[in-house]
Structure 1
Amino acid sequence: MTERLIPYQPLDLAEPAELVAAIRKRRGGQFINLDRMLLHSTPIAEGWNHFIGEIRNNLSLDPKLRELAMCGVAVLNGAEYEFFHHAPPFIKAGGSEAQVEALRLIGQTDFPKALFSALENDAVELTFQMTRNIQVDGALMKRLQLALGNTDAVELVTVIAAYNMVSRFLIALDVNPEEHPPA
């Protein structure tokens, strides 16, 4: 095994105490490898914990659409760590194993659209366009705005933008999945 360029912070890290406690609370008591890398910078770890915590826990957006977008970003960016952590919540939110496997084909001509609703296919297309093209087709945004309303459309765009940030952080710092996904 090769040595990491930037090592993970230890699992038993205790300082800064308030931040460590907040992250452990959000994670159900344990750090994941992402946290252990973020904790090299207190300001970044604090901001990340708050921002991503809000995205994960306090949006009005349907959790299935949220996790679908997160998984789609993960696949498009090659961030297996992200997929590893978001496929289980996607299933918990109503997704199927077949849909999880299908999500690995986002951006390919053989993507099985029939496994997803029209709204889910639009969310997949938005994820693709934002991640790969940056520019988004106006007709697609109009369909999403009509289907979701202003708040949920903004939240979906924000989820995709935020998880593009997450995947880039994970890949640049070679953050790898834990042996067992958190509960």
Structure 2
Amino acid sequence: MSKRLIPYQPMDLAEPADLVAAIRKRRGGQFINLDRMLLHSVPIAEGWNHFIGGIRNHLSLSPKLRELAMCGVAVLNGAEYEFIHHAPPFREAGGTEVQVTALRLLGEPNFPMELFNSVEQDTASLTLQMTRFIKVDPILMQRLQEVLGNTATVELVSVIAAYNMVSRFLIALDVTPEEHS
């Protein structure tokens, strides 16, 4: 196993105390490897904890659609770490194991759209369009706005944009699943 270019901060990191406590609180008392990498920069870790914490915990958007989009971004960008962390909340929000397996095919011609309801299909399509092509079909956006309303549509777009940032950070810094630290 090769040495990491940028090592993770230690699991028992204590400073800066307020930030470490806030991250641990959001994570249920512990760090994950993403946190340990972010903590190389206090301003980045502070902003990330606040912004991503808000996206994870304070949106009106359905948790199932939120996690579907996060899993979709992970697959499209090849961010396995992200997928591992978001497939369980997708299941907890009502996603099935068949849907989790299907999400691994997002972006492929054989993606089984029929396993998802219409708003989930549109969420998958939006995730694909925003992640791979940047530009989004205005008819798709109109359908989402009609079903979700303004707030949840803005939140869905924000989730996809934010988790594209997350996956790019994870991949560039080779953040690995916790059991492989």
TM range (shorter): over 0.9
Query: Which residue is equivalent to 1:96?
Result: 96
Q: What does residue 37 of structure 1 align with?
A: 37
**Cross-structure match for 1:137:** 137
Letter of the structure 1 residue corresponding to residue 105 of structure 2: L
Cα distance in 2 for residues equivalent to 1:168 and 1:113: 26
TM-score normalised to the size of structure 2?
0.99
Deviation >4 Å, runs of 4+: none
Distance across 1 between alignment mates of 2:109 and 2:80: 21
Q: What are the Cα deviations for residues 60-79 of structure 1, in whole angstroms up to 9, with x where unaligned?
A: 00000000000000000000
> 2: distance between equivalents of 1:116 and 1:68?
10
> How big is the shift at 1:114?
1.0
Aligned equivalent of 2:125: 125
Q: What corresponds to 2:65 in structure 1?
A: 65
Q: CA deviation at 1:84?
A: 0.4
Could you tell me how far 1:179 is from its partner in structure 2? Answer: 1.9
| Residue identity matched to 2:126 | L
Distance 1:165 1:141 in 2: 21
Instruction: Please give the alpha-carbon distance, in whole angstroms, between the structure 2 residues aligned to 1:179 and 1:103.
Output: 23
Matches within 5 A, 1:2-81: 2-81=2-81
Q: 1 CA distance for matches of 2:55 and 2:118?
A: 23
Unaligned runs of 5+ in 1: none
For residues 80 and 178 of structure 1, the distance between their equivalents in structure 2, rounded to whole angstroms, comes to 12
2:54 partner letter:
E
- Aligned match of 1:86: 86
Question: With structure 1 as the length reference, what TM-score do the two structures score?
Answer: 0.98
CA-to-partner distance for each residue in 1:33-89, whole Å, 9 max, x for gaps?
A: 000000000000000000000000000000000000000000000000000000000
Q: Matches of 1:69 and 1:10 in 2, distance apart? A: 31
Q: CA RMSD in A?
A: 0.8
State whether structure 2 residue 146 is matched by structure 1 residue 146.
yes
Worse-superposed segment, 171-180 or 93-102? 171-180
Identity level (%): 78
Aligned length: 180
- Aligned to 1:19, the other structure's residue is in SS state helix
* Runs of 5+ consecutive residues of structure 2 not aligned to the other structure: none
